[in-house]
Amino acid sequence: MHDLPSQVARALRARAPFCFLTSAFCLLLSSLSSPAAPRAELRFTDPRPLTTLGLQLRVMSGSREKPLPIPQAYPYRVRMGAEEFKTDMVDPRELWIASQHAAEWEDGDGNRLSIATVRTMLPGPFEREHIMKDEYDKALEQERAANAWTLPQLGEWMDAFAGTAGGTRVARINAPSQRFSDVLEFTFPPATSNTLAFAFRLNPAAMGQSHVPASWTCALFHLGPNTDPRTARQSILSRFLLYVTAAPVAKPTPLAPATRFQTAAPQTATAQSPEFLTSRKQVTASLANLRNWWFAETENYILISNMQSSERSTVRQLQTDVENLRLVFRKMIPPRAPLVDVSVIRMPATEEEYIEYVGPDLAWSGGLWMPTRKELVIRPLSGEGSRERRDHLLHAAYHESFHQYLFYALDHVETSLWFNEGHAVLFENVEFRNRGVQILENKDMARLLEQLLPKQEMTLRNVLDLNMDAFYAQSEATRAINYTMAWGLVYYLRQGVAAERKSPYAGLLDRYIDLLWQTRNPAAATDQTFRNVNLLELDRDFRAFWANPRRRAAAERITLAP
């Protein structure tokens, strides 16, 4: 078993490379040989206009923009009398932060600056952690206007925004110039000594500032581990606040797609649902005040990224490809529920940004469908040639876009991993032809199957019964085998069976979807799908297909019409 999954493991690493130097010896060697990190210093040199706030300020040298993640949607099933229905609920604090947040940056030393407008107090408290959106909106209407608040109320606002435990004190400090009418400093408990915050209002009586808003603007700093809070405070006072100036307020017009990335003739849906328009507005609003982030859109998708113009041709190709694949998805698995949400594809420019966004537990992944955020995230490759980067981005998007489609098409019903991942890998390897889509073999996985199947070490029963923990096992070798077996089964049932004149397995995948929709239970749907199938014979026929080059070649020639 030692060498069997090596080729697929390398392919998985190509999609999700990460560092393996994590042994205790390496960590010890690093600590002994590396000198203590020097103290970091906050330098504010990069001017940034915040047009929606009517401000211009300076951010940390070499810092990168950090768009606010889209608020999560938490699926619930609610029972009212005899009726049960699905609904999405929200975290009220997430929605509230999005309504106050304006922009955020982080420098290479881990120092973060968040700019927010003090608009309303956090609504609530609520009886439940997650609530209906209507409950949040109703509670928000009862909150006071922000510009008449007292200092203790502003301290309460800051505790909610910064996520501190309470006890924040607020005091007026001397304004660095006559451009300000008020400047406040927030002092946090000792446990949060790496957090500094200031709030200010510009003076409408100062020259050229008659247009400035009366609301408070907050600057919240989370300092990196090597930044001294005392020197950071002095730098903020002398190098940050001093250079805050008024700027013309931009009219609140909707953001437009980036012309350099948008396809020449973008398609727009003629009858977009309210949910579609709401989710699209939520996505585009998250990019306000960000200079390097942009979006492009198609009839069903919106792509957001901070990639550079060198990736333009790939991004444009992706817009065409995902729409063509959506047609194939719909034909293969017709939606059981209306597709009302815009499908979001997020493409960070660097691997660091990807890992930061999806979290360390999923650092191994090359792409991810995040149901709670309702967005597909693609990891870029670094240190590879342009062709490798392009192929990875496209194929990862093909894979994850199937997960995304299935989530919406089945109205958020959970699916068995053999079916979901098997199809996602199936669509990784497609070629677009003038008259359709050709599904090709995954060469690395096919080679692994050729080595695995003769040894009788894996059976179809094994892969059909895998739950989430077992399928995504921490062992890279095990994960490679699970993906390969799921793909091999789905490829055989889709392509291999279709190339035969008669097969007892025709329609099994359609039957699974029907049963899943009826039962809402992935394990039960799998069990009932294969209940009347002789698994020993299916396993034998499955192995015979993969051992027969002629049958495999016939399967690969099948073209799917959109």
Each residue of 176-216: pLDDT tens digit?
999 999 999 999 988 788 999 999 999 999 988 888 888 89
Residue 265: pLDDT band (50, 70, 90) is low
Q: Answer whether 487's CB lies under 8 Å from 421's CB.
A: yes
Q: Count CB neighbours of 371 within 10 A.
A: 16
Amino acid at 318: L
Q: Is the dihedral of CA 348, 353, 359, 360 positive or negative?
A: positive
Task: Name the average pLDDT for the chain.
Answer: 87
Q: What percent of the chain is modeled with pLDDT above 70? A: 90
Please tell me what DSSP assigns to residue 494. I
Q: Of the given ranges (161-175, 223-237, 513-527), which has the lowest mean pLDDT?
A: 161-175
Residue 303: pLDDT band (50, 70, 90) is very high
Structure tokens at 245: 């100036």
Residue 26: pLDDT band (50, 70, 90) is very low
CA angle 71, 297, 299 (to 5 degrees): 105
Amino acid at 226: N
pLDDT at 144 over 70: no
For the stretch 491-550, pLDDT in tens is 999 999 999 988 999 999 999 999 999 999 999 999 999 999 999 999 999 999 999 999
Chain centre distance of CA 127: 29
pTM higher than 0.95:
no
Q: Answer whether 525's CB lies under 8 Å from 414's CB.
A: no
pLDDT at 41 over 80: yes
In residues, how long is the chain?
Answer: 562
pLDDT at 269 over 70: no
3-class DSSP assignment, residue 560: strand
Strand partners, 218: 116, 199
- Omega prior to 123 cis, within 30 of 0: no
3-class DSSP assignment, residue 477: helix
Query: How deeply is 197 buried, as exposed, middle or buried, from its count of CB atoms within 10 A (0-12, 13-18, 19+)?
Result: buried
**Residue reference for tokens 């600057």:** 219
324-349 exposure pattern, b = at least 16 Cβ within 10 A, e = fewer: ebbebbeebbeeeeebebbbbbbbbb
pLDDT at 33 over 50: no
pLDDT of residue 370: 94
Rounded CA-CA distance 235/220 in Å is 14
pLDDT of residue 458: 75
For the stretch 11-20, pLDDT in tens is 554 443 323 2
For the stretch 470-490, pLDDT in tens is 998 878 889 999 999 999 999
